[in-house]
Structures are given as C-alpha cells and as structure tokens.
Structure 1
C-alpha cells in the first residue's frame, strides 16, 4: 500500500469496515470473535464502528480467528498501519493558528518522559536562541513576536529533571547559517550550556563521519509510542509500533556515530571561537 496523505483521513473508517465485513463474511458473531481473540465484545464493537483503532496485535488476532487468507492479511495489516499514521499539513496548521499548534506540542511534551530528536538540517526551537528562532521564522506567515515568545516558553521543559532528552545534530545542522556569524557563535554557546544539564544529551555527528545511511529527514520520538517526521509541507505522525521501532533503530544507529559530553563541547567551543574571529 503506497502512502497518500489524502488516504489517511479515511483509513480508520476503512479498517473498521473491512474487519466488520470479514467477520460477517465468515458468518461469525461479535461475541464468538471476541471470545476467540480474548478481548471484550465491547472493544470489538468499538473497533468495528471505528471508535477504537486496533493495534497490530488485535488485527493479527482477528484475522487469525477468521482464517483470513495471506493476501487479505497483508492488505488489512497495511491498512492498520496506515490507520495509525496521521498527516498534518502546514496550510491546515496555519489556518488553525500557530498558538494551537504550540499548545498541542506543549501537551505532547508534558505527557512524554523520554525525547529523542534527530536533527540533520538545523537546530530545533527547544535549543535555539531568540535571535535564531526569529530568523528561522522570516518566511513563515505568522505573528513572529508571539511565535518566538511561545517557543521560548516551551524551552522551560528542558529544565524538568523528570524527563530525558537526547538531541542528535549533524555538523551541517549546527552550522546552518540562520543568523550572522557572531549570532551563530552565541547559538553554539547555547548548545554547550544545555549539554551540561544532567538529563540533556547533545550529540554531534561531525562532517566526514562514515555513516552508511543518509539522513533523510528530521524526526522526533516521544517515549516509545509516537514519532513525528517533518517535511517541507507538513508532518507525518506515526503511532504504529512497527514504525516506532524502525525510527528507534535509525536513531540508535546515528547515536553510535555521535560525539557527546566533552568531545561534543570541544567541537562546539572550537566552532564558536572560529566564528568570533
């Protein structure tokens, strides 16, 4: 099944309809199927009406109980994966208002305990100086002052010692010239400062590091339950366990090539000195 953002809005209802149709075609009742799958009849009813999106395990149990043929299993499994994927277009986000988007991110950050950020292109707002944030919004149709204030307010989460943060940045991302050289040096200093927090890890992947897999895109992992992938036109939100696992594996691979602690700080301080000279 190919990815089409337009399909994401329909995938949950399509999955519900498909599972219900398969049960009826097999001549089974909800009570019978629920018992075979060791789930409640209420849960099965909610799955078939689209009120609950079933996970991979639930889908496998249902398809197994109904003796679905391999081609049906593959098709429905792909549909289930799509049902756990959400497309958030930037145009729609702007129409809803950036304040709402900032509130959504704050809510997501408040719930999660462990954060992993892969940043191959530029520094994330959580680690950015006010000048860097302001400059990065130059081409966005938003209230810049209000947006900068909102992003700076969200940075307070970095001081919550109950949470753990790992940021992986390529050298290109660190040096991407969003602001003039002196302001970039201040941005390097900011990264050094934040890396000294005991629950914040900032890893740098220097240019020239031999890594077999290219950095395709920016992504963020919230615990082990959700991943967001950034594109030019929006973001994709993955909640399927298989997608989360794959992103964790990719993150781990890049993490093994990164420099942390004193090694990372030495690089950042060297670059800051060079940019000031």
Structure 2
C-alpha cells in the first residue's frame, strides 16, 4: 500500500479497505458490531473515514474477518497509526471543515462551483475576513483571525509544496472554478476590497493550473441552482473522487460513483454555459475597473 502521511486521506483509505474485507465475508456492519460488542454506527464511521481508528480496532476487525496473513494485518495497523497523526490544520482547533481541508490538502485536482462568493483558495486576506465576519457575526476576534489564517494557508496548494519529512515535492493542485456573476457583483468588505479581490482573481486566473469561468446572469436557469459544491480527485487510484457540499451545521461528502458522476455531469453543463476563460478574465478585469472608479 502506498505511503501517504495525510491523516484524513489515510483514514479514508483504511476505511475503504476495512469495508472491502467485511463485504468479502458477506457480513453486515450490524453483524460485525455484535461480534465486537460495539455500536453499528461506530463500524460505519470507521469505514467511511469520519472517525479516528486505532491499531487495536484494526486488530479486532481483522480477527472478525479471519485475516491470518500477518503482513496484511501489520500493513493495516501501520495505516491506522499514520491516520492518527495530525495535519497542520489540527493546530487550529474547532475549524468546522477540517475533514474537507484534509481531503483538499491531498487532492490532485479540484472543480468548484460557487454561486455567491469567490472561492476560498482565491480570496485575498481582507475579502476572507469580511466573508468570515459576515457569515459568522457572533465570532470573536480570535476566531475570525484563526479562520482567515487557515483559509490563507490552504492557498499553499496553488503552488508546489515540499514535504519537510521526506523531501518529496507535491505538485500544485489543478483548480477549475465556475463563479456565478453574482460573486463579482456582491460587494464584500467595500469597494476597495472588491477591487483588490478582482485584481487578485485575475492574476490567479492567469496561472497555467488555474482556470476561472464566469457564469453570466444572462444564462438564466442553469445546472447549479441547487447551490455550491466541489469535486475532489486524487492521484492515487485507491482514492475515489469525492463531492463536497458545505452545510451550516454539518457537511455532506458523496463518494458513490453514480453520485460523483451526476455532479460531474452537472459541472460540465455549468462550464458549457459559462463564458470561456478569456471572456471570463475580461469580465473580471472590467469589474475591477468599475470598483476602482
């Protein structure tokens, strides 16, 4: 099994492997839970990667599944140990979307549709601060500062990164963003902040691995009316694509192939209905000039 120190992705991959082992024995999660005297929800959370898993959990599950190959058991237990390591985002406690950050940190490509705001990876610090303050008006100054810092640090994925432990180079994420024209017109933080945000957006849109398209008002009804979503894809074949939908109190992660396919098809419709990248860049630059006046 390939090495990967990202705890979120590692935990997710381990969960998928444990589910495969259970299904190979034709056992239900309820049956496994009864054997181990635990709740069925615990087994489900372990398999979907939403709960930290200990080497002891792995050992107990391997016993239920009658895995007698010590190499397989040792490999799974090592994955469990690595999955309990902490990513950089764990230093910022109470970040509401830490699971998503873990996935984004390891994704090779990201397709985003945003109907209201400039997507987080392309925000300026002042724009990000205005978004956080507006979206969570009861937040303290410390909480606002923390969320903005996390958002800006995430933007490191737009460039190459070197793993300080292994020296391995992680390529910049391939980012494709479809922005509703409302994202350009909604004044967040004031006209100066918006001018700087538009100029920054135009600069980022010129990067070879970043594509920005604007979905104009004139399109009318379109495939993105249901709201914002992101599709994450990974370099490792063992890691299936994930659709992320942000919620107010909880987030939704869709991983079933037919669900991912449906959202991917919707995204292709959005891209087709949007201005092409050159026209979109011009629309962004025009918006920057309007805010400068």
Fold shared by both chains (TM-score > 0.5): yes
**TM-score grouping bracket, smaller chain normalisation:** 0.5 to 0.7
Pairs within 5 Å for 1:200-215: 200-213=210-223, 215=225
Q: Deviations over 1:199-248 (max 9, x none)?
A: 11011111112444452110010116111112333321111111111100
Kindly state the Cα deviation for residue 261 of structure 1 after the two structures are TM-superposed: 2.9
- Cα distance in 2, alignment partners of residues 233 and 188 from structure 1: 30
- Cα distance in 1, alignment partners of residues 262 and 48 from structure 2: 15
Give the one of 165, 184, 193 matched to 2:175: 165
Which residue number corresponds to residue 242 of structure 1?
258
Give the one of 19, 25, 28 matched to 1:48: 28
- Cα distance in 2, alignment partners of residues 193 and 140 from structure 1: 33
Structure ranking higher on relative contact order (CA contacts 8 Å, 6+ apart): 1
- Cα distance in 2, alignment partners of residues 110 and 213 from structure 1: 27
Kindly state the Cα deviation for residue 47 of structure 1 after the two structures are TM-superposed: 4.5
Q: Deviations over 1:68-97 (max 9, x none)?
A: xxxxxxxxxxxx9xx9798xxxxxxxxx94
Pairs within 5 Å for 1:52-67: none
Which residue number corresponds to residue 187 of structure 2?
177
Root mean square deviation of aligned Cα: 3.1
**Contact 2:105/2:154 (CA < 8 Å) preserved in 1?**
no
Q: 5+ residue gaps in structure 2?
A: 1-18, 33-43, 51-91, 161-170, 234-239
Which residue number corresponds to residue 197 of structure 1?
207
Structure 1 or 2, whichever has the larger Rg, is 1
Aligned residue pair count = 201
Kindly state the Cα deviation for residue 46 of structure 1 after the two structures are TM-superposed: 7.3
SS of 2:260 mapped into structure 1? helix
After TM superposition, the score normalised by the length of structure 1 is 0.64
- Residue 141 in structure 1 maps to residue 139 in structure 2: yes
Which residue number corresponds to residue 132 of structure 1?
127
SS of 1:117 mapped into structure 2? strand
